[in-house]
Amino acid sequence: MKKTALRASLALIAPLALTPLAATAEGTLSLYNWGDYINPAVLNKFTEETGIEVTLDTYGSNEEMLAKIQAGATGYDIVFPSVHMHDIMYQLGLLAKTDIGSAAGFENIDPQFVRAKTDPDAEYCLPYAWGNVGIVYNKELAGGITGWEDFFALGKEGKKITLLDDLRETIGVGLIMGGNSVNSTDPAEVEAAADYIVSNLDGVTAFTYDSVPQVISGDVAAAHWYVGANLFVSENPETIGYIIPKEGATMYQEDICVLESAPNKENAIKFMEFYLQPEIAALNVEQQMNGTPNIPAQELIPAEIVSNETIYPDQETMGKLQIFEDLGRDLQLYNSEWTRIKTAQ
């Protein structure tokens, strides 16, 4: 997920309708999304075309969103869970059937992105966007970096590096380096992954999401971060770069889902159908700089984005990207190891 400097806990309500009074006649649509995870122009266009007034609330993590919905927050129509959260929400009966998989235009979607095990025919949710989690680095301090080994070597040289403050992502790096699945539930593998991170903590100055400004300023040589770093790379091409580590990396994908409790189900489905249009998916990528599963949309995306190997990697690199699955109770194995990592100095 793309996180912003101030993370998204500063929940923001943005009334995006152009002409609220005229629009109310067509009803409303209420989105609950990650912070900065949709191009506002997409929402404006939706309102323009349909007259439906859109409101947007934001969250900072899957768990935060789930906790709110479980606690009975109503009034939201659409949420954007990661694939494993899509599965959880399906099992908890929180999602509404939309039959988006048989809607006109669904043939635009690359079938490899219909990932949720509980929703193999996309009867519930629409694949929204995806990206990988790699390394953003300062060219002067960490030029020539190719993967995790180089990354941790920087730390041993006395330069500063940061890891994400996320237990799955950071232990995931250790699992990748041990040649294991990032969804391992073998206590020995998880422990070995944590040991790998602990033995490489030299130079890890912080576990944080707010690392890009420090990479740009040179306070940090390289940071574990999201593909969204390309946005900052395009603004500072001389200073920083982004790579997918050669040893492998994790990837994420979010889906557009309609809640069972949605007050405006019809409008929500209209939004999904609207988002199936290649022009709209492309409009979103233009600002978000992430991957879209919409194949014809890739023709419409600015060349510098679609030709960027870190945003649209080749199939070989794609094969090295692992996506998180829900671990159920076994998440607790990671929980204990995570505390050990954070207290090892």
Partner 1 sequence: MKLARRKVLQLIGLLGAPSVFLLVFFCGPLLTMLVYSFLTPGIYGGVDWVFSHLNYGRILGWADTRYEKFDPVFLGIFLRSLRLAGLTVVTSLLVSYPAAFWISRMSPGRRDFAIFLVTLPFFVSLIVRLFAWVLILRPTGFLNQGLMGIGITSDPIEFLYSDFAVILGMTYVFIPFMFLPLYGSIEKLDIAQLEASSDLGATRVQTFWKVVLPATMPGIIGGSIITFIPSLGNFIVPSVLGGAKVLMIGNLIEQQFLSARNWPFGSALAMMVMAAVLLLLVVQLRLARRGDA
Kindly list the distances between the CA atom of residue 8 and the CA atoms of 13, 34, 60, 251, 284, in Å, as whole numbers in the listed order.
12, 7, 5, 20, 19
Q: Which stretch binds partner 1 (CB under 8 A): 136-144, 191-199, 206-214, 229-237?
A: 206-214
Residue 273 φ/ψ region, left for φ over 0, alpha for ψ in the -120 to 50 degree band, beta for the rest: alpha
Query: Can residue 315 be called a binding residue for partner 1 (CB under 8 A)?
Result: no
Round to whole Å and give the CA distance between 34 and 85.
13
The H or E element spanning position 16 is none
Q: Toward partner 1, which CB reaches closer, 96 or 215?
A: 215
Q: Tell me the per-residue interface mask from 167 to 186 with partner 1, x by CB under 8 A, - otherwise.
A: xx------------------
DSSP string, 244-301: --TT-EEEEEEEEEEBTT-TTHHHHHHHHHHHTSHHHHHHHHHHH-SB-SBTTHHHHS
Residues 84-123 that bind partner 1 (CB under 8 A): 88, 92
Smallest distance from partner 1 to CB 334, Å: 8
The β-bridge relationship of strands 161-163 and 249-258 is: unpaired
Round to whole Å and give the CA distance between 318 and 316.
5
Query: Can residue 279 be called a binding residue for partner 1 (CB under 8 A)?
Result: no
Q: Which stretch binds partner 1 (CB under 8 A): 137-145, 192-200, 216-224, 234-242?
A: 216-224
Smallest distance from partner 1 to CB 141, Å: 12
Q: Which of 74, 217, 234, 307 binds partner 1 (CB under 8 A)?
A: 217
Per CB under 8 A, residues contacting partner 1 are 5-6, 9-10, 61, 63-64, 66-67, 70, 88, 92, 160, 162, 165-168, 187, 204-208, 210, 214, 217-219, 328-329, 331-336, 338-340, 342-343, 345
